[in-house]
């Protein structure tokens, strides 16, 4: 498990998925990030290595997000089994209006985290094989994991 920005990522995730699409909230300064100000922009991209790539954003090693000086927050992640599907989805998300991105990011509260006792949210992903999985994420400690869907 590796802590990056506001999320903890299971480093074994690459055993199951080889790419992901993600959205960051990029704030102009630390105060805006701490206050969760509405003064931010969404940055959407994809990567084969989410741990390394998100670390680059935090350490100001990305050309575009460098101007935000590490004041970024992970808002959304989708996992994929192939790069082509991830690329197609990234292009779709980049065309979304802000209100559409916010609607996509909003999630349903499903319970309480065992670690920090904050709310857990759930989102559903459909991988390239058509298999549905759920992602559980804590709103407090930001721990998340991928689980099969039980019907």
Strand 72-80 to 40-47 pairing:
unpaired
| Of 143, 124, 127, 126, the residue nearest 135 (C-alpha) | 124
Asked whether the predicted pLDDT for residue 100 surpasses 80, the reply is yes
What average pLDDT score do residues 126-140 get?
73
Quick one: CATH architecture of 2-107?
3-Layer(aba) Sandwich (3.40)
Candidate ranges 31-35, 66-70, 96-100, 131-135; pick with highest mean pLDDT? 96-100
Closest CA to 74 of 96, 99, 47: 47
CB 8 within 8 A of CB 138: no
Q: Check residue 63 and give its pLDDT.
A: 79
Q: Which of 60-64, 116-120, 140-144 has the highest mean pLDDT?
A: 60-64
pLDDT at 151 over 50: no
Residue range 45-71: mean pLDDT, rounded:
84
Q: Which residue has the tokens 């857990």?
A: 120
Mean pLDDT of 28-45: 87
Hey, where are the domains in the chain? 2-107
Average pLDDT value over all residues in the chain: 79
Its pTM stands at 0.66
Question: Would the pLDDT of 87 be above 80?
Answer: yes
């Amino acid at each position: 498990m590796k802590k990056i920005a506001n999320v903890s990522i299971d480093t074994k995730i690459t055993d199951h998925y080889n790419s992901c699409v993600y959205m960051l909230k990029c704030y102009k300064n630390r105060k805006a990030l701490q206050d969760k100000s509405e003064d931010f922009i969404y940055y959407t991209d994809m990567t084969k290595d989410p741990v390394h790539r998100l670390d680059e954003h935090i350490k100001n090693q990305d050309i575009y997000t460098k101007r935000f000086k590490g004041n970024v927050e992970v808002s959304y992640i989708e996992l994929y089994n192939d790069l082509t599907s991830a690329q197609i989805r990234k292009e779709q998300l980049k065309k979304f209006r802000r209100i559409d991105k916010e609607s996509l990011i909003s999630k349903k509260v499903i319970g309480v985290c065992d670690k920090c006792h904050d709310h857990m949210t759930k989102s559903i992903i459909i991988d390239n094989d058509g298999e549905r999985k759920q992602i559980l994420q804590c709103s407090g400690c930001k721990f998340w994991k991928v689980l099969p869907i039980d019907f």
